[in-house]
Amino acid sequence: MNSSLFQIVSNDAIAKNTYRLEILGDAKALKGPGQFINIRIDGMFLRRPISVCTSDRKERITVIYKTVGKGTEALSRMKPGDKLDVLTGLGNSYDLSSSGDKPLLIGGGAGVPPLFWLAEELVKDGKTVRAVLGFNTKEEVFLADDFERLGCEVTVVTVDGSLGRKGFVTDYILRPYTYFYCCGPEPMLKAVYRTVSGSGEFSFEERMGCGFGACMGCSCRTVTGYKRICREGPVLKKEEILWKE
Amino acid sequence: MERMKVSLCGIEIDNPVIPASGTFGFGYEFAELYDIDILGTFSFKGTTKDERFGNPTPRIAECTAGMINSVGLQNPGVERVISEELPKLKKVFGKPVMANISGFSVEDYVYTAERLDSEDQIGWFEVNISCPNVHGGGMSFGTDPKSASQVIGAVKKKVSKPVIAKLSPNVTDITTIASACEDAGADGISLINTLLGMRIDLKTKKPVIANIMGGFSGPAVFPVALRMVWQVAHRVKVPVIGLGGISTAEDVIEMMLAGATAVEVGTANLIDPYACFKIINELPSVMDRYGIGSLSKLKEINA
């Protein structure tokens, strides 16, 4: 973990209620895809945890966030040059060593961004990456072209069929893969959990107090004991997940 | 630095700044960032007889100048605190630590306290009496002078280290509870624990916290805490630890002017993990600015 000031390079709308924020500062505490940062926003008491979309792990961090409340709305109004107080290097990361040759990435909405950094790393390692990216509707689709430019085979799925395939990500994950990585809203994670075969991992969200393991606000039960989503998570292996009833 | 030192129940501490229980874990997360030996001491994560998962999530809600938590005393249980947490803590913290303990019956408290009493690292007990008493209809020990006195008296009888009673502010008259604890043998009083609060999400129309209500803390509660510390410090003779919304060196001094011998910093640690580090480093210059020679003298000013 590191705590430092970052400068905003850009903060632009890229889809409906969706912004890409690029910041410059000390990014050396970041270890790998799956990790998140925790941003202090003027007027808000708690920081806002947001997963990292990509980083050079030196000075540059990109996140993509949705405006879901006052905090993220305030963040969306910030301008290039503005300063942000950010905790970096939080949480664990995806296990790249388990991916096999043909990993499958399954993302939904605000859960898509961390899979992009993962895709970059997997492609760099010479893997054949397939990404199934789900959104509600055409206006909310983002990053699909970026995955394609990386060389991934991309299937875009929208609930209303306004772009790509119609339906849910679970309708398009049946082809063989060596391992899967999944990030998205909890109902999607559960549906994927019931559909997938083989091994893989899921990235979780929870309301957090501190984001670095001190407050025990985001704990969950797992097969291997209690875990903090912010510290031993947000990435959990499929085999260790115990769903909340 | 001599002018920062205070004496807490017979143990001298380098400065009066103590991270509050539940906001500092067992110290390691913060030891990654700074040398936590600069702290006066810290109050470790509330420990119970058995392991507890705590309450369902969401456990956290945002508020104006504060937050609500409903963690529900998640902790590994006293045996693992002794076998796992304390040995790890020893590597990053060389001073006596404050053992915060909780229970759901008098026997629970006594068991946990006795198990910890023989551990050299422990300097004080801080007994959290805000927990529900399962044998008393679920009412919190800390809302009734008689049950508060029972718990403190029973723990005090069984341990050799100073016992500090941590009071709940969710009472009609906190001085009555403070007096009951003092009469039962408490060596000190710490206050305030969190204020019971809640939030409702306008989108879902439902409470944000899974358990509906939780403890409100943060800078918003500081004036309430200050008032209660003032009242209790004027009522009891034992040392008082003031806490509730402290986030700056100025807050520390204000709290000590209300009669506190030392202070605890809680929620501020969660927002800025360097909060205590900064407060301790800023204290000397803030003392200079207000012409304060020694912190230990502050509590006498309004006595």
CATH number at residue A46: 2.40.30.10
Contacts of A221 in chain B (CB under 8 A): 53
**pLDDT band at residue B139 using 50, 70 and 90 as cut-offs:** confident
Task: Report ipTM (2 d.p.).
Answer: 0.93
A238 confidence band (pLDDT: 50, 70, 90): very high
pLDDT of residue B131: 76
Residue A50: exposure state from Cβ atoms within 10 A (0-12, 13-18, ≥19): buried
Closest residue of B to A222, CA-based?
Answer: B53
Domain assignment present for residue A211? The answer is no
One domain for residues A140 and A53: no
Does A101 score more than 90 pLDDT? yes
pLDDT in tens, B87-118: 999 999 999 999 999 999 999 999 999 999 99
Question: How many angstroms separate the CA atoms of B112 and B145, rounded?
Answer: 22
> DSSP class of residue A87?
E
The whole-angstrom separation of Cα A174 and Cα A207 is: 32
Residue A165 lies inside a defined structural domain of this protein: yes
User: Could you confirm whether B131 is annotated as catalytic?
Assistant: yes
- Does residue A77 share a domain with residue A123? no
Q: Are residues A72 and A117 in the same domain?
A: no
- Tokens encoding B203: 């989108």
Shared domain for A85 and A116, answered yes or no, is no
Residues A100, A196 within the same domain: yes
pTM value is: 0.95
Neighbours of B201 (CB within 10 A): 13
Interchain contact B272–A (C-beta under 8 A): yes
Give the residue-averaged pLDDT of B120-128.
Answer: 97
- How near does any CA of chain A get to the CA of B158, in Å? 30
Does A232 fall in a domain?
no
The catalytic residue among B9, B63, B131, B181 is: B131
Predicted pLDDT of residue B137: 67
Q: Which residues contact B293 (CB under 8 A, 6 or more apart)?
A: B3, B287
Of A46, A75, A90, the domain-final residue: A90
Q: For A35-53, what is the mean pLDDT?
A: 97
How is A138-184 classified by DSSP, letter by letter? GGG--SHHHHHHHT-EEEEEETT-SSSEES-GGGG--S--SEEEEES
Point out the domain boundary residue: A61, A90, A119. A90
One domain for residues A137 and A196: yes
The CATH superfamily holding the domain B2-54+73-196+220-301 is Aldolase class I (3.20.20.70)
The mean pLDDT of B65-75, rounded to a whole number, is: 96
For residue B11, which of B54, B41, B34, B46 has the smallest C-alpha distance? B41
- The pLDDT value recorded for residue B113 is 98
The confidence score (pLDDT) of residue A97 equals: 97
What pairs with residue B63 in β-bridges?
A: B66
Chain B residues within an 8 Å CB radius of A208: 60
Between A9-18, A47-56, B138-147, B259-268, the lowest mean confidence (pLDDT) is in B138-147
Regarding whether A153 and A112 lie in a shared domain, the answer is: yes
A180 in the same domain as A124: yes
- Position A64 pLDDT exceeds 80: yes
- Mean pLDDT over B203-213 rounds to 96
Say yes or no to pLDDT of B26 above 80.
yes
Domain range summary for chain B, segments of one domain joined by +: 2-54+73-196+220-301
Q: What's the CA gap between B181 and B249, in Å, rounded? A: 29
Residues in A touching B269 (Cβ below 8 Å) = 210, 214
Alpha helix positions (H), chain B: 28-31, 78-80, 86-92, 106-117, 145-158, 174-183, 222-233, 249-257, 267-271, 275-289, 298-301
Q: Which amino acid is at B17?
A: V
**A137 and A48 fall within a common domain:** no
Among residues A41, A74, A90, the one where a domain terminates is A90
Identify the pLDDT of residue B1: 84
Identify the domain containing residue A175 by its residue range.
96-203
Q: What is the CATH number of the domain that holds A104?
A: 3.40.50.80
How many CB atoms are closer than 10 A to CB A99? 23
